[in-house]
Structure 1
Amino acid sequence: MESFKHIVNSRLNVIKSLVLTQTPQDELVSDLQTACVPVTTDACRTCADPCDVGHLEYPPKFDVDTASDMLGSVKPYMRQVVISTGKADWVREVTEEDGSLAYLLPKVSSDASVGSSPKSLSTSYPSSKPTTRVGIINSSHTSEDDGKHRVLVFPDYKVVMHVSPDVNGAKELYQNAVSPNVGRTGAGSVGENGNVSSYPLPYACVILLCSHKRRDNRCHIAAPKLETSFCRVLESENWIVHHDLEDEDCMGQSLEEIEGTEEERDKVMADRLREASEGALHDQKTALILKISHIGGHKYAGNVIIYTPQGAGVWYGRVSPHEVPAVVQHTILEGKILPLLLRGGVNLNREQGKSLLDW
C-alpha cells in the first residue's frame, strides 16, 4: 500500500510540475536586486545528483512540493517568540494547549491596546502592509529555572528569562518585550513585582529547524539530518555550535539594568550584538541551532529560519543536506540570499553593495 501511495504521490508531483512552475532564478534574482536584497547567483546545491560526497539523504518516500513558487509563503509578522520546552515535538497546535505560555500569550496580546505609533515594525519581504502580528512557536531549548521559560524574541535578537507559564507571566513578557509599543531593548526596568530579565543573544547566528512530527512527519525527518549537516559544515569553518542557550551568568548585564535614554540603551544593545556577530564570548563565532514547532509550509520541508544579530530573518524551504554547504557559505558567512530556497523574511533590504551582515 505504501509503495502504491508513493507512486501516486510521485505522479501527482509530475502533473503539478507541468501545471505549476517555479519562477526562474534569473527573474527571482532581478526581483530581489530591485528590492535591494543582497543575493547570490551561485547554485543552491554544490554536489552532484546523485550525491558523490557523502551528504546525508532524505528517504526515497520524502515527497515535497518542488513545483510551486515558495516566495511569499511566509505570513508577515512583527515579532516571533520562541518558547523553551525541552522537546522536539508538540501537540498539533501549540497555541491550543491549555495552560501553556503559547496558549496564554495570544489571549494577553489580543486584550492589549496598541499605541498609534508602534515602536517596532519589521520590514517583510516580499513587501506587505505593516503588521503587529506576533508569531508564536515552541522550541527544543531548555530553561535553567524549573517551571519557567526562556523566550527568544526575533528579530530583536534577545532572550527573556524567568517567564512564568501563567497569565501574569504572559502579560509580563508581552508588556516588556513583545508589544509593538516597546522597542528592541524592551520596556526598561520591570515593575516591583516583575521577574523577567532579558539579554542580547551572544551568537553570530541562530538557526531554527522545524521538527514538528504531529503536524507533518517530513519536518520530523528533515530536522535531525539538517542539524547534523549544519554542525558539520559550520564546524569545518571553525565555528562553535550550541544546541541550548548559554547560562544566564554568561550573558552579562541585563537590558533592564542598563540606564539612560532609550537611544542610549539601544546603542549599548547594538554594541553587544556587534560583539556577538564577531564571536566575542568564546573568541570564536558561535551558532545556536534549535528545533521548533510548525511555522507553515510543511510541504516545503526542510524548513529553516536563520536570524542574525544585524536584525535579518531568512526563511528557507526545500532545504536538504545537499543545500546546507551553500546556505552556510552564502547566507551565514557572506550575508547573501539563495533565491531558489527563499520563502520570505524580515529586514532583508540593504543599501546597494551591502550584505545582510553589514550594520
Structure 2
Amino acid sequence: MQPILAQSLTRAWSGRAYRNCQNIRLLSSTPQRSSRLRARLEIPPPFPVTKTCPEPSCNCPPTPALPEGLPIDHEQALNGTMAAYAQQLLICTGQPDWTSRIEDDGENKGWGNLVRGLKSLLGRGGPYLDPFNNVLVTNSSIAPAASSSPASASAFLFPSFKYFPSIPVNTASSPDQTTGLTTFVRAYLLPERLHDMHSSLPAAKQADMTRSPDLAPHFPGVIDINHSPTVLICGHGGRDMRCGVMAPALESEFKRVLQTRGFTSADSDGTTVDGPNHANIGLISHVGGHKYAGNVIVYIPPKMTVGTSSEPHPLAGKGIWYGRIEPKHVEGLVEETILGGKVVTDHFRGGIDRSGDILRI
C-alpha cells in the first residue's frame, strides 16, 4: 500500500504545485491586465473641455484680499467636490446677502416665507422628506417680480429652466385648495420616479412622494428659460467671508464682460428673465465649498446656440459648477463656457444635465 500512497501523495503535491504555479502566474500578470483594462475604460468627458482659462485680453480688477485665517484651498482637486442634487430652486430676494441660516431671514417677506415653507415640507420631519431627492433651496440677489407679496415669491428652477413669478407660500392644505405651496412642491419638486429604496413603502405613500405633473396647470404664468444664460456667484458673507469678499468683484466683472459681448442683465426690476442677448446674473446663498471661493454656477439654457450661429450649444440644458474663480478668470469663462460651450477642467467642481444626471470628468 505504501507505493500507492506515495503515488497519491506525489500526485496531490503535484496538483497543488501546479495550481500554485498557476496562481503565481495569474497574480504576476494582474497588474498588466489591470493597466490595459484601465486604458480601455477611460471614458471621454461628456462635453467639450479645455484645461485652463485663457489669459484675459485687458487689465482685470485685482483679486480681493481675503480675511486673515480664511485661505482658499488650492491643493485639493476640484472635480467631484459638488454635492449631488436633483434640482435647485433659486429664490429671488433682491438683496445681496442673508443671515447664516436663510430660513431665519426675510421676516414678513414672501421670499422668507417661501424658504421656511419649503423647509417644513422637504426638510427634516416634513411630509416630502426624501434623502434621494436633494432639492437645493438657494436665495439669490435677483429681484422678485413686482407682483410678489408676503403671500407669494418669485423663483427660478434648474435644470428645469423655469421661472415662477408668483409662488404661493401658504403651506396649509385642504381638499379644495389647489394653489398652495404643497401643490407647487407636488407639481414641480418631487422626483418623477422614486429611488428603488422606497419600493417597500405602501403604494399610496409612493404615489404621494412622486411628482404630479397634472398639478402644473394650477400655476399659470410660468416662463421657460430658453435663451438667457444664468450666472450664479456664491456671495453668502453671512455664512463665510471668503465668498462674501470675492463675490461682488466677480459679479461686477461678469456683468462688464458679458456687456462687451452684447448681453444685458436686469439689476432691479425683475421683469426680464429670458431673451436673446440677456443674461441673469446674481449672488446666491451657501451651496457648499467656501474654501474654494469664488464659487460660480453657470446654467446654459436649452435653446442657446454657439455665438451668433445656429449651431446648438454643446452645454445646452446643463449646469456647470466652478471653484477658485478670480476676476482674471471671468473673461475666459465667458468665452470658453458661455459662448464657446467648453468646460474649463482646472476649475470644474461638477455639473448637472437636463434630466438631473450628475456630470463628472
- TM-score of the superposition, structure 2-length normalised? 0.65
CA distance in structure 2 between the aligned counterparts of 1:68 and 1:83, rounded to whole angstroms: 31
Q: Distance in 2 between matches of 1:172 and 1:166?
A: 10
Letter in 2 for 1:240: T
Partner of 1:170: 181
Q: Does 2:78 correspond to 1:38?
A: no
Q: Distance in 1 between matches of 2:214 and 2:88?
A: 14
CA contact (8 A) 1:315 1:344 kept: yes
Structure having the higher Rg:
2
Q: CA deviation at 1:198?
A: 1.6
Give the corresponding residue for 1:105. Answer: 118
Aligned partner of 2:321 in structure 1 is: 315
Deviations 1:175-226 (A, max 9, x none): 2221223779874321xxxx66421125420011111111111211111111
What does the per-residue CA deviation read over 1:42-65, in whole Å, with 9 as the maximum and x for residues that have no partner?
x32514xxxx94211123446311
2:64 and 2:249 in contact (8 A); partners too: no
Q: Does 1:188 align with 2:213?
A: no
User: In the alignment, which residue of structure 2 is the partner of 1:179?
Assistant: 190
Matching residue within 332, 339, 344 for 2:345: 339
Tell me how many residue pairs correspond in the alignment.
264
**Is residue 297 from structure 1 mapped to residue 308 from structure 2 by the alignment?**
no
Shift of 1:348: 8.5
Equivalent residue for 1:54, pick from 59, 67, 79: 59
Asked if 2 retains the 8 angstrom alpha-carbon contact of 1:313 and 1:347, the reply is: yes
Letter in 2 for 1:312: K
Identity %: 29
Which residue does the alignment assign to 1:153? 157
Could you report, residue by residue, the CA deviation over 1:268-305 in whole angstroms, capped at 9, with x for unpaired residues? xxxxxxxx6xxxx4xx4211101110111011111110
Change (3 A) 1:185 1:203: farther
5+ residue gaps, structure 1: 1-30, 115-129, 252-275, 350-359
- Judge conservation of contact 1:203–1:288 (CA < 8 Å) in 2: no
Secondary structure at the counterpart of residue 117 of structure 2: helix
Query: Aligned AA for 2:62?
Result: E
Amino acid at match of 1:112: Y
* Partner AA of 1:157 in structure 2: F
Structure 2 CA distance for aligned equivalents of residues 331 and 76 of structure 1: 21
| 2:190 partner letter | S
> What is residue 330 of structure 1 aligned with on the other side?
336
Deviation at 1:324, TM superposition (A): 0.5
Bigger shift: 157-166 or 319-328? 157-166
Q: 1:113 to 1:291 in 2, by over 3 A?
A: closer
Alpha carbons of structure 1 residues 32 and 203: separation in structure 2 relative to 1, 3 Å: farther
Structure 2 spans left out of the alignment, 5+ residues: 1-40, 173-179, 193-209, 303-316, 356-361
Does 1:75 pair with 2:80? no
AA matched with 1:81: L
CA–CA separation in structure 2 for the residues paired with 1:59 and 1:152: 29
Shift of 1:172: 3.0
Whether the 8 Å CA contact 1:78–1:134 is kept in 2: the answer is yes
Q: How does 1:1-359 map to 2 (within 5 A)?
A: 34-41=44-51, 43-47=52-56, 53-61=58-66, 63-95=71-103, 100-109=113-122, 110-112=126-128, 131-143=132-144, 144=146, 145-147=148-150, 148-168=152-172, 169-181=180-192, 187-190=215-218, 197-201=221-225, 203-243=227-267, 246-247=270-271, 281=275, 284-310=276-302, 311-347=317-353
Which 4+ residue blocks in structure 1 deviate beyond 4 angstroms?
Answer: 96-99, 182-186
**Alignment check: 8 A CA contact 2:94 2:268 kept:** no
AA partner of residue 316 (structure 1): Y
Distance between the aligned counterparts of 1:46 and 1:135, measured in 2?
A: 33
Q: RMSD over aligned Cα, in angstroms?
A: 3.0
Q: Distance in 2 between matches of 1:204 and 1:221?
A: 27
Give deviations 1:120-174, integer Å, cap 9, x for gaps: xxxxxxxxxx942101111112221222210110000111222233324431321
Distance 1:54 1:113 in 2: 48
Q: Is the 8 A contact 1:85 1:141 kept in 2?
A: yes
Code of the residue aligned with 1:305 in structure 2: it is I
CA–CA separation in structure 1 for the residues paired with 2:154 and 2:65: 38
Cα pair 1:305 1:315 within 8 Å, conserved: yes
The AA in structure 2 aligned to 1:165 is V
CA distance in 1, matches of 2:333, 2:327: 10
